[in-house]
Amino acid sequence: MLMLVLPKVGYQCLLAWYHQKKIKLYVQQYAGINMERVQHRTVTVANAPLADIDTWFLYLRGKYDLVGPSPMEFDDACKLHRNKRTRFNVSPGIISPFMVKRTSGIAHQDEQQLAADFAAQATPKHRAQVFLIWSLQRIFGAPTRRLYSPRQFKLLGVTLANVSMKEAVNRVVKSLNCDTQLGDATKFAFVNADCANKYVSDAGYQQTLNTFDTVFADGIGVKIAARWQNIAVTENVNGTDMFPFLCAELAANKKSVYLLGATHSVVNRVAAKLNREYPELKVAGYRDGFSDQADAKELHRAINQSGADLLLVAMGAPRQEQWIADNAASLNVKAVIGVGGLFDFYSEHVSRAPIWLRELSLEWVWRLGAQPLDKGKRYLLGSPLFLLRASLAARANKSITTTANAANKELNHDLL
C-alpha cells in the first residue's frame, strides 16, 4: 500500500509545484489507545488535503489498527464523557466499523456508541468480519459516478422520503406533538421492492401511498433503483430497525401506542415485551389483525377510547395501507404507521438475519432460507422483476431528460 501511496503523493506534489500552488505539511494530534497522543501528518496543496502520508506508517508502528474506531482529534476526545472513552481501549483504525455500517445504510446509532460497542467486542474474529465486509463493499458496492441526495425522490410513481433513521424517528415524534382533530392523523408507510411491484400493478395502492404524509425508503432494492437515478439513499429506513429508537423516544416523551395486527399470540407477546423493555411507554391497547375486523365502529371506539397517540398497523402491504386510508377519518390518534412484519420480528416469531448479513445488504437471503415457500416468489421472481422495472424507468427518465436538454439547447441557439 505504501508503494502505491508514496509515488502518487510525489507526483501530485510535482504538479502542485509546477502550477505554483502552496504545499504544506499539516500536523494533527489524534487520541490513540489509552488516550495516547498520536501525531498524524497530512500533505496539503492550496490548503486542501492531498494525502494522509502517516496512515500506513502509523499502522506499521502499531499506533493504528487495520480495523478500529475512526481516529479522533485529541482535543475532541478530551471533551468526551468518561463513559464514552471506552472507545480508546483499542487503537484507532484505518477501516472504521461505523463507515461499514454507513455504507450499508444501517448506521442508525451514534458513532461514539458504535465505537464503544466495537471496543467491547474487538476480537480477531470480529475484526476479520468487518474487514471482509468492507472489502466486499469496496468491490461490489462502490458507485461509479457521483450521486446526489435530494430530500425526496420518485420510485415507479410513488414519492419516497430520503432521510436518515434519526430524521425519520424525529418526524414521527414531531407529529405526535401536534394538535389534531378526529381524522387528522399523520400517515406513515414504508416501501420496499415488493411493495413497488404491488403498486405498479395496483393503481389503487399507488394512489393510496401518495396520499400518505411520508413514505420511507426501505431495503437494498430501493437503494439500487435510486442509484440508477443518480440518487444516494441516505439510510435504509425500515420499521424493524426503527422500532427500538421510536420506542425509546415515545417513552421519553410520555407517549402511548396502540398495536393492531399479526396474530393474537404474536401481538400479545409484542405488548408484553414492550412493557418489560420500555416500562415508561404506555401500551394503550392491542388487537390482532384478523378477529373483530367486521365491526369497524367497535374497533374505532376501542382505539379512540384507549387515548393512544400512535397507532401501529401490522397487516402486510397493501392491506395495512388500505386499512389506514379507509379508517383514518374515524380515528383520533395523532399518527398511524403501516409496519408490515414488525410484530413478527419484535416478538421473535420470525428471526432476523445476523448483523453481518445486514451489513452486506443480504438480509433477504436469510429470510428466503428461513421461509422458502413464503418468500420464494417474492425474492426469486419479484426482485428481478422490480430491478427490470426500475432499470427501464431510469432509462426512460434519462431519455426524456436528454431530449429536453437537447431541445433547450436548440431553442437557445435559435434565440441567439
List pLDDT tens digits, range 228-269: 999 999 999 999 999 999 999 999 999 999 999 999 999 999
Average model confidence (pLDDT) across the chain? 88
The strand ranges marked E within 57-206 are 65-67, 93-95, 152-155, 158-161, 186-191
Between 149 and 54, residue with greater pLDDT: 149
pLDDT in the model for residue 145: 62
pLDDT in the model for residue 113: 86
Check pLDDT > 80 for residue 226: yes
pLDDT digits (tens, 9 = 90+) for 95-144: 999 999 988 888 888 888 889 889 988 899 999 999 999 998 888 765 55
pLDDT band at 45; cut points 50, 70, 90? low
pLDDT in the model for residue 180: 82
pLDDT digits (tens, 9 = 90+) for 274-319: 999 999 999 999 999 887 666 889 999 999 999 999 999 999 999 9
pLDDT digits (tens, 9 = 90+) for 163-201: 999 999 999 999 999 888 899 999 999 999 999 999 999
Closest CA to 286 of 301, 270, 298, 297: 270
Residue labelled with grid coordinates 397493501 = 318
- Of all residues in the chain, the percent with pLDDT exceeding 70 is 86
pLDDT band at 60; cut points 50, 70, 90? confident
CA–CA gap between residue 164 and residue 275 (Å, rounded): 27
CA–CA gap between residue 144 and residue 234 (Å, rounded): 17
Check pLDDT > 80 for residue 203: yes
pLDDT in the model for residue 83: 79
CA–CA gap between residue 31 and residue 21 (Å, rounded): 31
pLDDT in the model for residue 110: 82
Residue labelled with grid coordinates 429536453 = 404
Check pLDDT > 80 for residue 1: no
Check pLDDT > 80 for residue 405: no
pLDDT in the model for residue 48: 56
Closest CA to 91 of 114, 113, 72: 72
Distances (CA, A) of 111 to 21, 70, 102, 138, 243: 36, 9, 10, 21, 19
Closest CA to 57 of 38, 44, 77: 38
Cα end-to-end distance, the chain, whole Å: 54
Q: Which amino acid is at 139?
A: I
Whether the Cβ atoms of residue 236 and residue 216 lie closer than 8 Å to each other: no
What residues are paired with 148 via a beta bridge? 231
